[in-house]
Chain A
Amino acid sequence: MRMQLVRILSIIAVLMLGCDFAAAQSSRETIASVSPKVVKIFGAGGIKQLYAYSTGFLVSPEGHIVTVWSHVLDSDAVTVVLADGRKFEGKVVGAEPQLDLAVLKIPAEGLPHFQLADASTASPGARVLGFSNMFKVAAGDEQVSVLHGVIAAKTTLAARRGVFEAPYHGPIYVVDAITNNPGSGGGVLTTWDGRLLGMIGKELRNAQTNTWLNYVIPISELSQPVEEIIAGKFTARRAADSEQEIDAASLDRFRPGDFGIVMLPDVVARTPAFIERVTLGSPAAQAGLRPNDLVLFVGEELVQSVRMLREELGRLESGGQLRLVVRRGDQLVTVELPIPRKED
């Protein structure tokens, strides 16, 4: 009878232990399992406000580390310090500057690491934890700093020139926590129950709101390039491609005159995009545009000034339709004009 009782109790105990593994992780458990996978990186910098440290996280047992592409890696001697204090020399094995991404390798094995394929997504309001060596507070065998907060929003880093001084223009999580500090770039964001979400980005200022942005690049954007880099099959996007992209932003392909629109003179920085007059018989006239219409949207983009209108028109592709939303008195009117064919 007693043996049976002992057996029953031990079965219960085992099952209870099993329960712990089956239930959602608590944030305490998340911190315990994530911290060993995050590393501290020290490299180039230390002069003129450029800090010489950043963060990274392990994605393979042999020591591949994902981090931000930054000036810190501009050194022959990049030192990586693990959570247990072990130091290694890190080598950059691949980078994709368009994604602010770099992959390092340290000579090690059997290291705790993230499985990028297991990464997850989250929506606004989800509670998150951020791990990074902000302000290089952690040294030696100290674990990196942990922050908590929620996902504020999921959006794209605006493509318009001048809003963000960053090469990356893809989807991001905006975080309601001050995650982006000196040295935080390359850190990791997870949900409170341990699901990997993304890599913490660099310090960035939003020119539209004049505030600092705390953002994280989702793993979904990074996993394929990282895999290719690790497999040795990666080719960075050609410099020529990126140059073309930059050129596109300052292109002058089309002008208001091409559609028969004459704008009010651009006197101050934010002169609203009022139409002064419309050329007789032009596509604008045929579409029904009138003097004093205020052009508000070119496609989906809000144009807040004549200057912005010119930029948007400059970026149009030949052929297809141009959709404008104008304000006429108290009404919003949508018109469509054909975009003329032009030779590049």
Chain B
Amino acid sequence: MMRRVSLMIACLASAAVAVAQDQSLEFLEEQAIREAVALAEPSLVRIETVGGLDQAQNVLFGTGPTSGVVVSADGYIISSSFNFAAQPASILVTLPDERRFPAKQVAQDKQRMLTLLKIEADNLKPAVAAARDEIRVGAWAIALGRTFDLANPNVSLGIVSAVNRVWGKALQIDAKLSPVNYGGPVVDIEGRVMGISVPLSPQASGELAGVEWYDGGIGFAVPMEDVYAVLDRLKEGKDLLPGLMGITFKTGVLGSPDETVVDRVRFNSPAFKAGVKSGDRAVELEGKPVSRLAHLRHVLGRKYAGDAVKLVVERNNERQPLDILLVGELTPYESAFLGVLPLRQQLDPNAKGVPIRTVFAESAAAKAGLQPRDVILKANDQELTSARQLSDLVSRLRPGEKLNLTWLHESAELSGELMLGSYPDSVPAELPTESLPAAGEAAADGPKTGRFTETLPAQNRDFWAYVPEKFSPQASYGLVVWIHPGGDTMDATIYQSWKTLCDRRGLILLGPKAEKVGGWTPLEAEYVKDCVTWMKEKYPVDPQRILLHGYSSGGPFAGHLAFKYRDTFRGLALASQPLIGTLPENEPDLRQQFYLVCGDQDPLFAAAKATADGVRAAKYPVVFTPLPGEKHVYPPEDALDEIARWADCLDRI
């Protein structure tokens, strides 16, 4: 009896030992991890690069091996774009069986920062993808690389921390991701590849964004399913770019319900073409309800240039569905230039067409043979009744586009197809003035002419002005708003310099005065605007030719006014001062032109030139005139004459 019992106990005991040894959770987990690695590792390759840059953006490029994953049996391999940020001269791929191949870069996915390579090899083992919607937070995540040892992949163990991070692009895991495993697979406990590890950051973009978080317990992996979804497009050799719509939302209202209200739609962008308007409220994108800007970004974060998305906006309490075709690049708006200066006086108010005063040399109009006194009747099949109409039409075309014109030349009707150019960056050396209608009898209670001072009733502040003595109410005048430098209103100088110019070119001079002797403050912008409004009420001011003129320390305030009231001021002329402040985006409804003049011995010369180049790059019409041998001075007579000529053709088309 005892013997049988002892035997039973012995069996039980050894069984217990066996159970204890083989079934402990820690042991089983370790086994499972090893097996998962073994299942995935035949698709893991080593990548080495030769040559390239040393560093960029204060990040030193590493030179060690990196990793990649086979995605196609005929030799396509995916890796992180970080591994190629240094633009290497040569790329080598080593397979698990130690065979080495030179590799070509085929294409990049610039939204998810992946690069596709090709080697001349066959029968490779593509990675098996895990289903994206089956990935759960808390699941094991094993990051692999082949950087230390060719035979055994290096392992980093963690869990899935979150799904749909970085605007829907990536899984977040806490395994240690760094150059030792970027480009390699992140594997689940069953050996399927959940994603490819890449450095990413929700706040920045580019190959190097997110690298500063290496080994930090936060790392990202682009889901393998998403990689396979775009593989065919990448194989074609074309880079995939993030998709852009061209909508700007209101700033400063983040967190409020208004953050999804459209502020501006860039001219000719996909949103513009689809019919999105300023003031629309975005409510749904690709079937997903949108109440926060973040919702929009989450959907867009996974869309590429060339993808079509369905946007629903609310306009006047009605839902408007719109189809938008995303693009990779939004080109800045640039107005086309025809090359004519229209005549301002309409001798016969019922006459049709746009009479021409001057044709600019080497412009599209000049090449087509248009001449002064010709009358443009039709543009692109539209009958023209005003210069404004022609200007709006041309401004919505781009340089290089065609325009069909019909015009009258000495009673003969001519037609032609013109190719439009861009605004010239110089002012014509000679510009015949337009003769103004004769001044009638100055009415006793008529508006003042000559030089005078006036007080704004509401604010009890003064300004001075000069209206040409031979003033005629039938003419339309340009308005030059003079912004004086701090400490010196320079009225006398300006009056002396500009009197003849104003008389000749039909300009009214307006000289607001800063409250404090020291200089202007931004709060005085409204006062200046009020002065302009006063002028417009009393005198026939042409809204197309209101410009600001600032010198030296008056320049920054003049720039501030130009950008604050873009619908009022059409031009900004700065003397001896660079343009300060952020340049707003150019658009057809708020066209502005710029003029900068500076002595080349002026210490501000280089800065002034640089800002002029910046304005040109933003596709605004800009003229930059250096004054040889001059230091920091108010421009002399002939330079001022050029500014006056520029002011006289602000309404050129």
Contact = CB atoms under 8 A, between A and B. Distances in A.
Interface in B20-67: 20-21, 24, 26-27, 29-30, 33-34, 37, 48-54, 60, 62-65
Contacts of B50: 272-273, 294, 296, 302-305
Contacts of A302: 48, 50, 65, 92
Interface string B190-215: 00000000000000000000000011
B329 to A, nearest CB: 31
A155 B148 contact: yes
A192 interface: yes
B176 interface: yes
A23 interface: yes
Contacts of A127: 26, 29-30
A124 interface: yes
B102 interface: yes
A322 B85 CA distance: 33
Given A211-B178, A304-B63, A332-B100, A153 B24 contact: no
A206 B178 CA distance: 12
B180 A294 contact: no
A273 B52 CA distance: 12
A331 interface: yes
Nearest to A191: B30
A268 B29 CA distance: 49
A212 B176 CA distance: 12
Contact of A23 (B20, B48, B214): B20
Interface in A241-290: 268-273
Interface string A20-50: 1011101100000000000000000000000
B412 interface: no
Interface stretch (A10-18, A80-88, A220-228): A10-18
A16 B16 CA distance: 8
A332 B156 contact: no
Contacts of A16: 13, 16
Interface stretch (A64-72, A89-97, A144-152): A144-152
A330 B120 contact: yes
Interface in B98-140: 100-102, 104, 120
Contacts of A18: 13
Nearest to B156: A176
Interface residues of A, number: 54
Nearest to B100: A332
Q: Per DSSP, are chain B's interface residues mostly helix, strand or loop, or mixed?
A: mixed
Contact of A126 (B5, B30, B64, B153): B30
Interface string A281-324: 00000000000001010000011110000000000000000000
A151 B9 CA distance: 39
B157 interface: yes
Contact of A155 (B89, B100, B104, B149): B149
A123 interface: yes
A305 B51 contact: yes
A178 interface: yes
Given A125-B155, A127-B30, A296 B53 contact: no
B453 interface: no
Interface string A133-150: 000000000000000011
B9 A12 contact: yes
A15 B148 CA distance: 46
Contacts of A150: 33, 155-157
B299 to A, nearest CB: 35
B152 interface: yes
B316 interface: no
A209 B157 CA distance: 20
A138 B34 CA distance: 34
Given A8-B5, A209-B178, A296-B92, A26 B33 contact: no
Contact of B53 (A155, A174, A210, A270): A270
A27 B10 CA distance: 27
A200 B144 CA distance: 23
Interface string B129-172: 00000000000000000011100111111000000000000000
Interface string A141-176: 000000001111111000000000000000000101
B60 to A, nearest CB: 5
A330 B101 CA distance: 8
Given A149-B157, A270-B53, A22 B26 contact: no
B443 interface: no
B6 A125 contact: no
B54 A125 contact: no
Interface in A93-147: 123-127
Contacts of B214: 211
Contacts of A325: 100
A124 B100 contact: no
A15 B9 contact: yes
Contacts of A8: 5, 9
A273 B50 CA distance: 9
B37 A19 contact: no
B429 interface: no
Contacts of B29: 127
B351 interface: no
A336 interface: no
Contact of B51 (A149, A174, A304): A304
B5 A178 contact: no
Contacts of B51: 270-272, 304-305
B603 to A, nearest CB: 36
A15 B152 contact: no
A154 B156 contact: no
A24 B21 contact: yes
Contacts of A268: 54
Contacts of A24: 20-21, 24, 27
A332 B152 contact: no
Contact of A125 (B37, B60, B179): B37
Interface in A186-219: 192-193, 206, 208-212
A332 B100 CA distance: 8
Contacts of A209: 62, 64, 147, 178-180
A269 B54 contact: yes
A249 to B, nearest CB: 17
Nearest to A302: B48
B5 A124 contact: no
B4 to A, nearest CB: 11
B30 A125 contact: yes
Nearest to A176: B156
B156 to A, nearest CB: 5
A5 B34 CA distance: 46
B34 A125 contact: yes
Contact of A294 (B21, B90, B120, B176): B90
A303 B92 CA distance: 12
B2 A331 contact: no
A300 B62 CA distance: 20
Contact of A176 (B10, B26, B155): B155
A72 to B, nearest CB: 25
B633 interface: no
Nearest to B25: A26
Contacts of A4: 2
B33 A125 contact: yes
A155 B27 CA distance: 24
20 contacts: A19-B17, A23-B20, A27-B26, A124-B154, A152-B148, A153-B147, A153-B148, A153-B152, A176-B175, A192-B26, A193-B26, A206-B64, A209-B180, A210-B60, A270-B52, A272-B50, A272-B89, A272-B90, A273-B50, A294-B90
Interface of B: 2, 5-6, 9-10, 12-13, 16-17, 20-21, 24, 26-27, 29-30, 33-34, 37, 48-54, 60, 62-65, 86, 89-90, 92, 100-102, 104, 120, 147-149, 152-157, 175-176, 178-180, 214-215
Given A210-B62, A212-B215, A270-B54, 9 more contacts: A15-B13, A18-B13, A19-B16, A19-B20, A23-B20, A206-B64, A210-B60, A302-B92, A305-B51
4 nearest A-B pairs in the assembled complex, by CB-CB distance: A208-B64, A272-B51, A23-B20, A153-B154
